[in-house]
Amino acid sequence: MTLPPFPTTRLRRLRATPGLRSMVRENVLSPADFIWPVFVMEGTDAEEPVASMPGVMRRTVDRIGQAAHEAYALGIPAVCIFPYTTMDARTEDCALAWSPDNIANRAIAEIKRAVPDMAVMTDIALDPYNINGHDGFVENGEIVNDRTVEALVKMALTQAEMGADILGPSDMMDGRIGAIRAALESAGHQKVTILSYTAKYASAFYGPFRDAVGASSALTGDKNTYQMDPANSDEAMRLVARDISEGADMIMVKPGMPYLDIVRRVKTEFGVPTFAYQVSGEYAMMQAAAQNGWLDHDKVMMESLMCFKRAGCDGVLTYFAPAAAKLLNG
Ligand code: PBG
C-alpha cells in the first residue's frame, strides 16, 4: 500500500497521547511471557550472589520452592533450573548427570512440591558434570555425538521422572531430539514437552553464566564444533525443520538480542512456538551500564523484553523475569 502524501498522512497523529499510542500498540508484554532461569547449589538454607550477574542468586534446593512460589505469584509461569557444580561433581563419565539425587533433579521435585502449577524446565547437556566442561563426551580431543546422545536420553528420562514439564536440550548434538522423544514415549511420558535449544550459537555472551554454574575454569577449548557459527542464518532454518520433525514442541534461539533476525525468520517461516534466551552476557551488559548510571535500568529492561515480542517470540528466558514482572504488575 502506498501512503497518501503529507499532510494527508501525518504518522505522528497516532503518537500524540498515551491513550492513542496504547490503542495502536502492536505488541504487549506480560509476566506470562517469561521463563525465569534459576541457579541451584549444594547445601542448606543458603543463597549467594553471582558476581558477574548483579541481582542474580544461587540458592540451595530447600530455598528454591519459595523463590518459585514468589515468581508464580507475580504471574511468571515457568522456571528453568541450572545447577552450580564444583570440580568434585565432575567426572569423565558424567554419571551424576542422570542421578535423581543431583541438585538440579532434586530442585525439580522441590518446585513441583511447592508450586505444582508452575512449569518446570530443565537443561539437558553434560557440561555441569563433565570434567572438561563440554556438553558432550570427549574422546581424543573430539566431542563425540552418538555416545553423548545416549547419555542425554538418560538425563531426559530422569528429569521426566522427577516431574519436569519442559525438557531443554541445550547440547546441540545431532539426533538428540528424536532420541529423547522416542525414549519419553516408550517410558510413558507422553505429556512431557521439549523446548529445543535449536539455534544455539557459539557465543561469547555466555561468559557470566559459565561463572554462575562454575564452568569457566572447567572448560577446555571452545564449543565451536557443536554450537552454531554466528555468521549463519539459513543453517538455523534447517535445524528448526529437523527439530520439529524429530518431536520438539517449541524452538529456542540463543542468544537473544543480537539474534532477533533469527527469531523473526523462525516465526515467519515455521509459525511454531518460538522462544529466545536473553543470556547472561546481555543481562550483565545492561546491569553494568545501569550501575554506572549510563543506562536507565527499568527502561532498558522493558524495552529489550518488548523487542523480543516484536521480533516474534512467544516468550523469553530472562534473568530480569521477577523485576520485569513486578514493574508490569505495577
Ligand atoms: C550449557 C548452557 C549454557 C547456557 C545455558 N545452558 C552455556 C554454554 O553453552 O556454555 C548459557 C546461558 C546464559 O549465558 O545465560 N549447556
Q: What confidence score (pLDDT) does residue 142 get?
A: 96
pLDDT digits (tens, 9 = 90+) for 8-36: 999 999 999 999 999 999 999 999 999 99
pLDDT digits (tens, 9 = 90+) for 107-128: 999 999 999 999 999 999 999 9
What is the Cα–Cα distance from 77 to 74, expressed in whole angstroms? 9
> Is the Cβ atom of 206 under 6 angstroms away from ligand 1?
yes
Q: What confidence score (pLDDT) does residue 72 get?
A: 98
pLDDT digits (tens, 9 = 90+) for 143-180: 999 999 999 999 999 999 999 999 999 999 999 999 99
> Is the Cβ atom of 135 under 6 angstroms away from ligand 1?
yes
> Is the Cβ atom of 211 under 6 angstroms away from ligand 1?
no
Of 63, 158, 166, 66, give the one whose Cα is nearest residue 119. Answer: 166
Distance 163 CA to ligand 1 centre (A): 22
What is the Cα–Cα distance from 94 to 120, expressed in whole angstroms? 23
Q: What confidence score (pLDDT) does residue 217 get?
A: 81
pLDDT-derived band of residue 199, with 50, 70 and 90 as boundaries? very high
For 275-292, what is the mean pLDDT? 98
What is the Cα–Cα distance from 169 to 150, expressed in whole angstroms? 13
Of 199, 177, 195, give the one whose Cα is nearest residue 264. Answer: 199
Element (H, E) at 278: strand 274-278
* Pairing state between β 142-143 and 250-254: unpaired
What is the Cα–Cα distance from 223 to 198, expressed in whole angstroms? 15
Mutate to test the pocket of ligand 1, among 170, 219, 225 (most ligand atoms within 8 A of CB): 170
Positive or negative, the Cα torsion across 206, 212, 102, 221? Answer: positive
Distance 206 CA to ligand 1 centre (A): 6
Q: Which residues contact 33 (CB under 8 A, 6 or more apart)?
A: 305, 308, 309, 313, 314, 315, 316
Q: What confidence score (pLDDT) does residue 94 get?
A: 97
Contact 309, 28 (CB under 8 A): yes
Element (H, E) at 50: none
| C-alpha cell belonging to residue 249 | 514442541
Distance 210 CA to ligand 1 centre (A): 7
| C-alpha cell belonging to residue 147 | 555416545
Looking at the chain, the whole-number percentage of residues with pLDDT higher than 70 is 100
Reply yes or no on whether the pLDDT at 251 is more than 90: yes
| Residue owning the nearest CA to atom 11 of ligand 1 | 206
Contact 202, 230 (CB under 8 A): yes
Q: Which residues contact 205 (CB under 8 A, 6 or more apart)?
A: 255, 258, 279, 280, 281, 282
Looking at the chain, the whole-number percentage of residues with pLDDT higher than 90 is 96
Q: What confidence score (pLDDT) does residue 220 get?
A: 87
Distance 209 CA to ligand 1 centre (A): 6
**Catalytic residue of the set 200, 223, 267, 309:** 200
**Catalytic residue of the set 112, 254, 267, 309:** 254
The closest-lying atom of ligand 1 relative to the alpha carbon of residue 215 is: 10
112: annotated active-site residue: no
Of 204, 177, 208, give the one whose Cα is nearest residue 193. Answer: 177
> Is the Cβ atom of 127 under 6 angstroms away from ligand 1?
yes
pLDDT-derived band of residue 216, with 50, 70 and 90 as boundaries? confident
Reply yes or no on whether the pLDDT at 214 is more than 90: no
Reply yes or no on whether the pLDDT at 218 is more than 90: no
> Is the Cβ atom of 282 under 6 angstroms away from ligand 1?
no
Distance 264 CA to ligand 1 centre (A): 22
Reply yes or no on whether the pLDDT at 229 is more than 90: yes
What is the Cα–Cα distance from 208 to 75, expressed in whole angstroms? 27
For 73-97, what is the mean pLDDT? 96
Reply yes or no on whether the pLDDT at 247 is more than 90: yes
Q: What confidence score (pLDDT) does residue 212 get?
A: 87
Could you give the 3-state DSSP secondary structure of residue 196?
A: strand
Q: Quick one: how far is CA 163 from the chain centroid?
A: 19
For 240-255, what is the mean pLDDT? 98
Q: What confidence score (pLDDT) does residue 32 get?
A: 98
Distance 255 CA to ligand 1 centre (A): 9
Reply yes or no on whether the pLDDT at 75 is more than 90: yes
Domain boundaries, the chain: 29-328
> Is the Cβ atom of 130 under 6 angstroms away from ligand 1?
no
Distance 277 CA to ligand 1 centre (A): 10
Element (H, E) at 198: strand 193-200
Q: Where are the alpha helices (DSSP H) in 187-259?
A: 207-212, 234-246
> Is the Cβ atom of 170 under 6 angstroms away from ligand 1?
yes
- Top-tier CATH class for 29-328: alpha beta
For 301-315, what is the mean pLDDT? 98
Could you give the 3-state DSSP secondary structure of residue 270?
A: helix
Reply yes or no on whether the pLDDT at 1 is more than 90: no
> Is the Cβ atom of 197 under 6 angstroms away from ligand 1?
no
On average, the pLDDT of the chain sits at: 97
| β partners of residue 277 | 317
Q: What confidence score (pLDDT) does residue 162 get?
A: 98
Sequence-distant contacts of 215-220: CB under 8 A, at least 24 apart: 215/85, 215/127, 215/128, 215/133, 217/87, 218/87, 218/90, 218/127, 218/130, 218/131, 218/132, 218/133, 219/127, 219/132, 219/133, 219/134, 220/132, 220/133, 220/134
Mutate to test the pocket of ligand 1, among 58, 209, 224, 275 (most ligand atoms within 8 A of CB): 209
The closest-lying atom of ligand 1 relative to the alpha carbon of residue 200 is: 9
